[in-house]
Amino acid sequence: MYTAVVESIYLLVIVTLISVLQNAFFALKVEKECNNQNAKASAIERVSCANRNCMDAYATFLAVMWCAGLCLSQAPAAFAGILYLVVRQKYFVGYMGQTSQSTPGYLFGKRILFFLLLMCVVGIFNYLLTRYYGSDYKEYVETITGAASALLLLP
Amino acid sequence: MYTAVVESIYLLVIVTLISVLQNAFFALKVEKECNNQNAKASAIERVSCANRNCMDAYATFLAVMWCAGLCLSQAPAAFAGILYLVVRQKYFVGYMGQTSQSTPGYLFGKRILFFLLLMCVVGIFNYLLTRYYGSDYKEYVETITGAASALLLLP
Amino acid sequence: MYTAVVESIYLLVIVTLISVLQNAFFALKVEKECNNQNAKASAIERVSCANRNCMDAYATFLAVMWCAGLCLSQAPAAFAGILYLVVRQKYFVGYMGQTSQSTPGYLFGKRILFFLLLMCVVGIFNYLLTRYYGSDYKEYVETITGAASALLLLP
């Protein structure tokens, strides 16, 4: 049983590990900025705020990625997860670097989270169809999802 | 194996999806209030604080709901999860609407989280009984849990 | 299937439950300090900050502990989880008690999280080896991990 379990989650675990490393990177940035004697208060505030916004969304991201991976198929979910991490990195760096009044908004990665949410809904829907009508569209759905996940690469 | 896995978690996934939608609703409220030029500072602070309190408790809620669902039975856990989301919605709206000094406390949904925690403990206990004494009370426990979850509806 | 699932996660569930109780303890401390009429603003700020730092890291901790437990073996992961909770308790108490300017840093329990991360990596690596080369080192790895987790007790 062990191998079967790991086989169906290992891509998700890898993405989770990368996200943990990224969290550690963010936390080190915060720690470094706070310990820096010459840091301006605004810089500290900015890096804390960027980190906090990322952490606020982190539990939601993990939940929706794992649900999508478990309910439908793990490869597109992990791919979307990687893209989300890239977007998050850009958001964090952009938040720290901005000097004008205009901060990036509170939200980021909306499109990717929406895609993952949609994957969950489709997965649940397909399961209910299988259960009550005996018709399994899982293969078709997986193919479509795999193709659709490439659309996330569009800017 | 896939269908068996989805069958034992699909209610939990649905509740998780609803909670994610609710998180998005909260985040949009925060974003809207921050972008509103005429917003008072107190309103921004209030909505941020309400959102932050909800997010602080979110990981705990997810962890305890999934553990209760996996260890004992998913229907009562998902039902309690739905009730928690209703309580959270009320808390958030109440937090934003209040004008006097008295803010709602930091905590909310204590009773529901306690019920889910109890479900986990009973599930673990039942597993240990099954393992070391060979007596399985799972069916009785599930029936009792299902009935007890209705008590959460009491105001 | 149910018993097999619970058997492979029950230690992780127990650690999760303890962490939830600890979260509740932290939240009650915050609530109590906020309701205390005679509390100094600095005390309130300090306890909120300690709680927030703990909550920021909580999702990361849960994710990495569960991945380590699922991918490799649950006993060392749960053991490291318990140690993390002890470290967190010390951090929280130390944060509240300090009176000088020097706050403890933003991060804590780095070594334990790193150990759990390493466990995940080894587990994934072992799975890939098993899949592509057919050589399973799981037993050796589990023994080594079990022994290595004792090293975390070193101060």
Question: pTM here?
Answer: 0.89
Identify whether the C-beta of residue A10 lies closer than 8 Å to the C-beta of residue A73: no
Closest CA to C141 of C154, C124, C155, C132: C124
Residue identified by tokens 């799981």 is C138
* Nearest CB neighbour to A31, from listed C105, C113, C120: C105
B56 touches chain C (CB under 8 A): yes
Cβ-based contacts of A64 with chain B (< 8 Å): 16-17, 20
Confidence (pLDDT) at B98: 65
Q: Residue C96 has which token pair?
A: 């509240």
Tell me the chain C residues in contact with residue B130 when contact means C-beta distances shorter than 8 Å. Answer: 3
CB C45 within 8 A of CB C34: no
List all residues of chain B from 124 to 153 with a beta carbon under 8 Å from chain C: 124, 127-128, 130-131, 138
Residue B146 φ then ψ, to 5°: -60, -40
User: Is the predicted pLDDT of residue A49 greater than 70, yes or no?
Assistant: yes
Q: How confident is the model at residue A99 (pLDDT cuts 50, 70, 90)?
A: low
- Contact B6/A71, CB-based, under 8 Å? yes
Residue of C nearest to A35 (CA): C105
Average pLDDT for residues C1-6, to the nearest whole number? Answer: 73
Terminal Cα-to-Cα distance of chain C (whole angstroms): 41
At which residue do the structure tokens 């989880």 appear? C81
User: In angstroms, how far is CA A93 from the centroid of its own chain?
Assistant: 17
User: Do C92 and C26 touch, CB atoms closer than 8 A?
Assistant: yes
How far apart are the CA of A31 and the nearest CA of chain C, in angstroms? 6
Q: How confident is the model at residue A98 (pLDDT cuts 50, 70, 90)?
A: low
Tokens of B133: 């004494």
Closest CA to C3 of A148, A48, B138, B100: B138
Q: Which residues of C touch A30 (CB under 8 A)?
A: 106
Between helix B2-35 and helix A41-71 the angle, nearest 10°, is: 150
Of C4, C120, C131, the CB nearest to A13: C120
A32, A34, A40, A42: CA torsion to nearest 10: 110
3-state secondary structure of C38: coil
Res A149 pLDDT > 90: no
Q: Do B70 and C7 touch (CB under 8 A)?
A: no
List chain B residues with CB under 8 Å of A48. Answer: none
Rounded Cα distance between A5 and A107, Å, is 33
**Residue A12 above 90 pLDDT?**
yes
